[in-house]
Amino acid sequence: MLTGIALLFILAITGYLVILPLVRREYTAGSKTSPISDEESLERTKEAVFTTINEIEFDYKMKKLSDDDYQNLKQQYKQKALEILHEEDELELRLSHEEVEPELISADTELELTAEIELELEALRRQRQANTGVS
Protein backbone atom coordinates (compact mmCIF):
# COMPACT_ATOMS: atom_id res chain seq x y z
CA MET A 1 0.00 0.00 0.00
CA LEU A 2 2.80 2.40 0.95
CA THR A 3 4.65 1.52 -2.26
CA GLY A 4 1.54 2.34 -4.28
CA ILE A 5 1.15 5.71 -2.59
CA ALA A 6 4.83 6.49 -3.11
CA LEU A 7 4.56 5.54 -6.78
CA LEU A 8 1.47 7.69 -7.21
CA PHE A 9 3.22 10.59 -5.49
CA ILE A 10 6.19 10.23 -7.84
CA LEU A 11 3.87 10.11 -10.85
CA ALA A 12 2.03 13.23 -9.64
CA ILE A 13 5.29 15.13 -9.19
CA THR A 14 6.53 13.96 -12.59
CA GLY A 15 3.28 15.11 -14.20
CA TYR A 16 3.57 18.44 -12.45
CA LEU A 17 7.16 18.92 -13.63
CA VAL A 18 6.18 18.04 -17.19
CA ILE A 19 3.24 20.46 -17.18
CA LEU A 20 5.01 23.29 -15.33
CA PRO A 21 7.04 24.57 -18.32
CA LEU A 22 3.92 24.55 -20.44
CA VAL A 23 1.93 26.56 -17.91
CA ARG A 24 4.63 29.16 -17.19
CA ARG A 25 4.52 32.22 -19.33
CA GLU A 26 8.00 33.62 -18.87
CA TYR A 27 9.46 35.32 -21.91
CA THR A 28 12.89 36.86 -22.21
CA ALA A 29 13.15 40.55 -23.05
CA GLY A 30 12.69 41.13 -26.74
CA SER A 31 11.39 37.63 -27.33
CA LYS A 32 8.02 37.43 -28.97
CA THR A 33 5.93 34.50 -29.95
CA SER A 34 3.18 34.47 -32.50
CA PRO A 35 -0.43 34.30 -31.31
CA ILE A 36 -0.78 30.97 -33.08
CA SER A 37 2.01 29.39 -31.04
CA ASP A 38 0.51 30.86 -27.84
CA GLU A 39 -2.86 29.43 -28.76
CA GLU A 40 -1.44 26.01 -29.63
CA SER A 41 0.69 25.91 -26.49
CA LEU A 42 -2.27 26.88 -24.34
CA GLU A 43 -4.42 24.20 -25.98
CA ARG A 44 -1.77 21.51 -25.34
CA THR A 45 -1.44 22.62 -21.73
CA LYS A 46 -5.21 22.64 -21.31
CA GLU A 47 -5.50 19.12 -22.69
CA ALA A 48 -2.68 17.91 -20.42
CA VAL A 49 -4.33 19.39 -17.33
CA PHE A 50 -7.77 17.98 -18.18
CA THR A 51 -6.23 14.57 -18.87
CA THR A 52 -4.44 14.71 -15.52
CA ILE A 53 -7.69 15.57 -13.71
CA ASN A 54 -9.38 12.67 -15.46
CA GLU A 55 -6.56 10.31 -14.46
CA ILE A 56 -6.73 11.51 -10.85
CA GLU A 57 -10.44 10.71 -10.78
CA PHE A 58 -9.85 7.35 -12.42
CA ASP A 59 -7.14 6.46 -9.89
CA TYR A 60 -9.44 7.51 -7.04
CA LYS A 61 -12.25 5.32 -8.33
CA MET A 62 -9.79 2.43 -8.61
CA LYS A 63 -8.91 3.01 -4.91
CA LYS A 64 -5.33 4.05 -5.73
CA LEU A 65 -5.71 7.44 -4.01
CA SER A 66 -6.81 8.34 -0.51
CA ASP A 67 -9.63 10.86 -0.06
CA ASP A 68 -7.20 13.55 1.09
CA ASP A 69 -4.77 13.01 -1.79
CA TYR A 70 -7.66 12.97 -4.26
CA GLN A 71 -9.13 16.22 -2.95
CA ASN A 72 -5.73 17.97 -2.86
CA LEU A 73 -4.69 16.89 -6.37
CA LYS A 74 -8.09 17.60 -7.87
CA GLN A 75 -8.18 21.08 -6.32
CA GLN A 76 -4.66 21.88 -7.58
CA TYR A 77 -5.42 20.83 -11.13
CA LYS A 78 -8.86 22.45 -11.18
CA GLN A 79 -7.17 25.71 -10.21
CA LYS A 80 -4.71 25.26 -13.09
CA ALA A 81 -7.62 24.53 -15.43
CA LEU A 82 -9.37 27.73 -14.30
CA GLU A 83 -6.20 29.72 -14.95
CA ILE A 84 -5.84 28.19 -18.42
CA LEU A 85 -9.45 28.92 -19.32
CA HIS A 86 -8.97 32.50 -18.13
CA GLU A 87 -5.81 32.78 -20.26
CA GLU A 88 -7.74 31.44 -23.26
CA ASP A 89 -10.32 34.18 -22.79
CA GLU A 90 -7.61 36.83 -22.55
CA LEU A 91 -5.84 35.47 -25.64
CA GLU A 92 -9.10 35.45 -27.56
CA LEU A 93 -9.69 39.08 -26.63
CA ARG A 94 -6.14 40.04 -27.62
CA LEU A 95 -6.50 38.28 -30.95
CA SER A 96 -9.74 40.14 -31.66
CA HIS A 97 -7.81 43.41 -31.04
CA GLU A 98 -9.87 44.41 -28.05
CA GLU A 99 -8.02 46.00 -25.18
CA VAL A 100 -7.65 43.65 -22.27
CA GLU A 101 -7.17 44.98 -18.79
CA PRO A 102 -6.16 42.66 -15.97
CA GLU A 103 -9.17 41.70 -13.89
CA LEU A 104 -10.05 39.37 -11.13
CA ILE A 105 -12.19 36.38 -11.90
CA SER A 106 -15.69 37.16 -10.68
CA ALA A 107 -17.71 34.56 -8.83
CA ASP A 108 -20.02 34.17 -11.83
CA THR A 109 -17.11 33.70 -14.22
CA GLU A 110 -15.55 31.15 -11.90
CA LEU A 111 -18.84 29.23 -11.77
CA GLU A 112 -19.05 29.28 -15.56
CA LEU A 113 -15.45 28.09 -15.89
CA THR A 114 -16.02 25.35 -13.30
CA ALA A 115 -19.09 24.19 -15.24
CA GLU A 116 -17.01 24.13 -18.43
CA ILE A 117 -14.33 22.08 -16.67
CA GLU A 118 -16.94 19.61 -15.47
CA LEU A 119 -18.38 19.26 -18.99
CA GLU A 120 -14.95 18.57 -20.47
CA LEU A 121 -14.16 16.09 -17.70
CA GLU A 122 -17.43 14.27 -18.33
CA ALA A 123 -16.60 14.03 -22.04
CA LEU A 124 -13.16 12.61 -21.17
CA ARG A 125 -14.77 10.11 -18.77
CA ARG A 126 -17.22 8.95 -21.43
CA GLN A 127 -14.38 8.59 -23.91
CA ARG A 128 -12.30 6.58 -21.44
CA GLN A 129 -15.25 4.35 -20.58
CA ALA A 130 -15.91 3.74 -24.27
CA ASN A 131 -12.24 2.87 -24.82
CA THR A 132 -11.75 0.64 -21.76
CA GLY A 133 -15.24 -0.57 -21.00
CA VAL A 134 -14.78 0.45 -17.32
CA SER A 135 -17.70 2.17 -15.60
Predicted confidence at residue 103, as pLDDT, reads 55
Q: Greater confidence, 11 or 105?
A: 11
pLDDT-wise least confident of 10-24, 44-58, 78-92, 95-109: 95-109
124 with 54: CB under 8 angstroms? yes
Report the candidate in 38, 52, 49 with the shortest Cα–Cα distance to residue 94: 38
Neighbours of 32 (CB within 10 A): 8
| pLDDT: which is higher, 91 or 102 | 91
Q: How confident is the model at residue 41 (pLDDT cuts 50, 70, 90)?
A: confident
Please tell me the number of Cα atoms within 13 Å of 27 on its side-chain side. Answer: 8
pLDDT for 72: 92
Q: pTM of the predicted model, to two decimals?
A: 0.49
What's the mean pLDDT in 6-11? 79
- Kindly report the backbone phi and psi dihedral angles of residue 32, in degrees, each rounded to the nearest multiple of 5, phi listed first: -130, 145
- H helices of the chain, where? 2-23, 35-61, 67-95, 107-132
Contact between residue 53 and residue 74 where contact means Cβ atoms under 8 Å apart:
yes
pLDDT at residue 29, as a whole number: 40
Instruction: Give percent of the chain above pLDDT 90.
Output: 17
pLDDT value, residue 134: 57
Rounded alpha-carbon distances, angstroms, from residue 7 to 10, 65, 87: 5, 11, 32
Spatial distance between the Cα atoms of 12 and 47, rounded to a whole number of angstroms: 16
